[in-house]
Amino acid sequence: MNVAAAPSTMDPSGSPPNGRYEYLLQQVVQLNTDLHKTVALSQSLKSERDSLQELTQRLKQDVMRCEERCEKMQEVLMTETEYKVQSDRKHEALMHKWKQQLEIKAREFEVLQKNLAPPKDLDQLRLAIQDEVELPHRQRTQGLQLEIDKYREMYYSVRRDFEILKTEHDQTIINHGHEIESTIATHMVLMNDLKRQLDAADDRAADMHTTDKLRRMELDKDTLVTENHKLRQELEHVRQAKVDLFQRQEADATKFATQMTDVLGKLTNVDLELKATARQLGRCKQDCERLQGVVDEKDKKLREATDDAMRLREQVKQKDLLLVDNHNLHSSKLRELRAELEADKVQFKQKQVDWMDQIASLQLALQQSEETFQKREKEWHLEQAKQVALQSHGDTHTQHTTAALQAKLAEKTAEAATLQETLDGCTQRATHALDQEQLKVHRLQGEKDSLSAKLTTAQELVTKLKAENLSWRSQLKEVEQEYRVLQGKYRDAMQNQQDLQSQLDQDKAKIQYLEDDLVKLTDERTNDKQSFEKSQAHLQAQLDETLAASFNARRSLADEHKKVADKLTKSLVKAERKRDAYKEKCLQVHERYKAAAMAKEAAAVQLQQLKDQHHIEIQQFLTQWSHAEDSRLSGSMPGKPMDMKLDSFLAEIDQYNQIHSPRLS
């Protein structure tokens, strides 16, 4: 409204010099205002360019950090892969060694199975040992399997989040590029409008001799002011949208950095958990080795117990055989001694009966002989008495009778002597035989006593041997029980070893599966890295192109500004010349305009107010324009010499305004 009120200060008479002078003053003020607005817009565009350049530097630093982290993670992955290959080799060597030991143990076990126990007991022993040894390892393996599944799910979820974030980041970059392109297009449209306005201003300055053109220019000025307000509003909207875009991009970048940090933390946790799983696998291998040592020790103890049992069985068999032989020998000797004793007793009784019969017969014969001798002696005495009685009969008959009797007596005496000798011999033989028999009886009695003692000793020995046999049998039963227990443990150990082997095969298959997953993920990561590098190179190329385009636009804009400044300088020179001419004319007609001095002073005050207002507006417009220019030229470095020239040019314009404003007033 103040601008619209400016034409009312012209002379009521409508003289062309006064109107032309005021029109020139208004054009100068308007051009000064437009110049300040242009400079302010250039400054705002420059600041926006600096902020975009800082954002680009931050994004480059973030990309460098991400590349360093990716390289570190790749190095960690390579070391883990080498460690995995070494552990696989060690595991294969250990498995080959265990397989050889298992084959050796299996052959030994088959030999022991053939020699010692039935297969059913060995299977039970194997199952028991396997259940006893395998239970903690199976529980530990199940826990590890659950942890591996959990970590796999976590890894897949992190992978999905990473893909989503990557897609969002790419979409954000694309949207940001589109917004930058739209902002650049808007800025170019705005600059074209400003160029057209400057051209229109030049045309209006060239055609400022007529009042119609002045009115048209005033109308154009009003429309330009309206368009300026509209452009300011649009520029405010664009700046607000740009600020929102920057804030959203910063928030997205912060969110992306946080998510990348979380992803890296999760990857680190997954690596740590993988190392912990590898350590647990090593501990499982150590447990397997320890269990293998326990199984070897149990096998050794089993072999020792088997050897002890076989040795004890041999000893028991030998002692049983020795005991049976001794018992049979003693029994046979005892039977023989008893038979001999019975035979000797029978023979002795028979001989005793025979000798008693002989003694009785001899005593009977002796008694008969004594009776006969006594009878004969009585007969002899009778005959002697008869002979004494008949002695008187004759000596011849007596001699013959005496001779006959003597002969008979000699015969009887000889018979008695013979019988006596025979009786003595028989008595001696009987006594000698009796003595011998008594000696035999004593000897047999001694032998009987010794045999009884031997029998008692043999019975005691048999009792001791029976007790020892019972103790050995109990020990044998205990050893057999221990052997059965060891067989059960051995079967359990073998079954546990087989289960451990199967579990190790399963773990190996799972590890192979995890390795395949790791290789796939490594390939995917390599592909992602390549795609990221390609996109980064593409974005870098786009950024370079944008920087080059912005630099070219900046240079062209500077050239245009220089041309506009030259035009303004020329127009100002022309205006000064015209002003001098108009000043001379004004001095000539000074006396005529004394009456209008007060009105002129009021117009000058109004003009100063309008000038200040337009100066403030052009400063704001130039500030906005500089922000827009900086946002458009964010990728390129500011041209320091051109800014210095522009600042010096603005300083000269301000100095010119300060010098010529009093003169104009």
- The band of 9, judged by pLDDT with boundaries at 50, 70 and 90, is very low
- CA distances, 181 to each of 417, 487, 607 (Å): 181, 85, 42
Task: Classify residue 212 by burial, with Cβ atoms within 10 Å: 0-12, 13-18, 19+.
Answer: exposed
Instruction: Summarize the confidence of residues 48-57 as an average pLDDT.
Output: 80
Q: What are the structure tokens assigned to 572, written together?
A: 């100002």
Say what the pLDDT of residue 217 is: 66
pLDDT in tens, 482-520: 767 776 776 776 777 677 677 767 766 766 766 677 777
Average pLDDT, the chain: 70
Element (H, E) at 283: helix 211-390
Contact 21, 582 (CB under 8 A): yes
- The band of 318, judged by pLDDT with boundaries at 50, 70 and 90, is confident
Residue 663, pLDDT > 50, answer no
Query: Residue 622 and residue 6: Cα distance in Å, rounded?
Result: 23
Tell me, what DSSP letter sits at residue 305?
H
Contact 390, 398 (CB under 8 A): yes
Query: Residue 365 and residue 361: Cα distance in Å, rounded?
Result: 6
Query: Residue 14 and residue 573: Cα distance in Å, rounded?
Result: 26
Say what the pLDDT of residue 647 is: 58
Say what the pLDDT of residue 395 is: 57
pLDDT in tens, 249-258: 677 767 766 7
Say what the pLDDT of residue 35 is: 79
Number of H helices, E strands in the chain: 7, 0
Poorest-pLDDT segment among 147-161, 190-204, 513-527, 577-591: 577-591
Say what the pLDDT of residue 583 is: 66
- The band of 664, judged by pLDDT with boundaries at 50, 70 and 90, is very low
Say what the pLDDT of residue 214 is: 61
- The band of 13, judged by pLDDT with boundaries at 50, 70 and 90, is very low
Say what the pLDDT of residue 390 is: 62
How large is the greatest C-alpha to C-alpha distance in the chain, in angstroms? 269
- Which comes out higher in pLDDT, residue 293 or 398? 293
Residue 662, pLDDT > 50, answer no
Residue 621, pLDDT > 60, answer yes
- CA distances, 422 to each of 30, 217, 366 (Å): 201, 206, 10
- Which comes out higher in pLDDT, residue 170 or 341? 170
The three-class DSSP label of residue 162 is helix
Say what the pLDDT of residue 597 is: 60
At residue 519, φ and ψ (nearest 5 deg) are: -65, -45
Instruction: Summarize the confidence of residues 399-427 as an average pLDDT.
Output: 68
Task: Classify residue 614 by burial, with Cβ atoms within 10 Å: 0-12, 13-18, 19+.
Answer: buried
Query: Residue 611 and residue 116: Cα distance in Å, rounded?
Result: 123
Q: What's the angle, vertex CA 109, arms to CA 106 and CA 113, rounded to 5?
A: 135
Query: Residue 625 and residue 632: Cα distance in Å, rounded?
Result: 10
At residue 401, φ and ψ (nearest 5 deg) are: -70, -40
Residue 5, pLDDT > 50, answer no
Say what the pLDDT of residue 548 is: 72
CA 630 to chain centre: 54
Residue 144, pLDDT > 70, answer yes
- In three-state form (DSSP H/G/I as H, E/B as E, the rest C), the secondary structure along 462-512 is HHHHHHHHHHHHHHHHHHHHHHHHHHHHHHHHHHHHHHHHHHHHHHHHHHH
Residue 104, pLDDT > 80, answer yes
As a whole-number percent, the residues of the chain with pLDDT over 90 amount to 0
The predicted model scores a pTM of 0.23
Question: Could you tell me how many residues make up the chain?
Answer: 665
Residue 54, pLDDT > 80, answer yes
Query: Residue 296 and residue 302: Cα distance in Å, rounded?
Result: 9
Query: Residue 453 and residue 445: Cα distance in Å, rounded?
Result: 12
Q: Taking each helix axis from N to C terminus, what angle separates 16-115 and 211-390, rounded to the nearest 10 degrees?
A: 10
Highest mean pLDDT among 12-26, 275-289, 640-654: 275-289
Q: What are the structure tokens assigned to 196, written together?
A: 């057209």
Say what the pLDDT of residue 485 is: 75
Contact 351, 437 (CB under 8 A): yes
Query: Residue 603 and residue 10: Cα distance in Å, rounded?
Result: 9
Highest mean pLDDT among 155-164, 370-379, 602-611: 155-164
Say what the pLDDT of residue 554 is: 67
Residue type, 556: S
Q: What are the structure tokens assigned to 46, written together?
A: 């420059």
Residue 20, pLDDT > 50, answer yes
Q: How many CB atoms lie under 10 A from the CB of residue 414? A: 10
Say what the pLDDT of residue 640 is: 43
- The band of 4, judged by pLDDT with boundaries at 50, 70 and 90, is very low
Please report the sign of the dihedral spanned by the C-alpha atoms of residue 615, residue 617, residue 620, residue 621: negative
Poorest-pLDDT segment among 18-27, 400-409, 420-429, 515-524: 400-409
Say what the pLDDT of residue 665 is: 43
Cβ neighbors of 50 (< 8 A, separation 6 or more) are 630, 634, 638
As a whole-number percent, the residues of the chain with pLDDT over 70 amount to 51
CA 318 to chain centre: 60
Q: What are the structure tokens assigned to 662, written together?
A: 């009093």
First-to-last C-alpha distance (Å) of the chain: 22
Residue 367, pLDDT > 70, answer yes
Among candidates 123, 145, 494, which has minimal Cα distance to 299? 494
Residue 570, pLDDT > 80, answer no
Instruction: Summarize the confidence of residues 123-143 as an average pLDDT.
Output: 75
Poorest-pLDDT segment among 36-50, 215-229, 416-430, 627-641: 627-641
- The band of 164, judged by pLDDT with boundaries at 50, 70 and 90, is confident
User: Within 13 Å of residue 629, how many CA atoms lie on the same side as its CB?
Assistant: 29
Please report the sign of the dihedral spanned by the C-alpha atoms of residue 472, residue 477, residue 478, residue 482: positive
Instruction: Summarize the confidence of residues 229-257 as an average pLDDT.
Output: 71
Instruction: Summarize the confidence of residues 85-106 as an average pLDDT.
Output: 81
Instruction: Summarize the confidence of residues 406-413 as an average pLDDT.
Output: 68
Instruction: Summarize the confidence of residues 174-199 as an average pLDDT.
Output: 75
Q: What are the structure tokens assigned to 363, written together?
A: 């005593």
Say what the pLDDT of residue 7 is: 38
Query: Residue 662 and residue 606: Cα distance in Å, rounded?
Result: 14
Poorest-pLDDT segment among 103-117, 165-179, 199-213, 570-584: 199-213
Query: Residue 293 and residue 97: Cα distance in Å, rounded?
Result: 13
Say what the pLDDT of residue 544 is: 73
Query: Residue 597 and residue 590: Cα distance in Å, rounded?
Result: 9
Query: Residue 261 and residue 263: Cα distance in Å, rounded?
Result: 5
Contact 427, 362 (CB under 8 A): yes
Query: Residue 246 and residue 248: Cα distance in Å, rounded?
Result: 5
Residue 29, pLDDT > 70, answer yes
Q: What are the structure tokens assigned to 425, written together?
A: 């011999």
Residue 103, pLDDT > 80, answer yes
Query: Residue 631 and residue 375: Cα distance in Å, rounded?
Result: 191
Residue 441, pLDDT > 70, answer no
Q: What's the angle, vertex CA 358, arms to CA 355 and CA 363, rounded to 5?
A: 120
Say what the pLDDT of residue 543 is: 67
Residue 642, pLDDT > 50, answer no
Residue 401, pLDDT > 80, answer no
Poorest-pLDDT segment among 198-212, 421-435, 550-564: 198-212
Say what the pLDDT of residue 593 is: 57
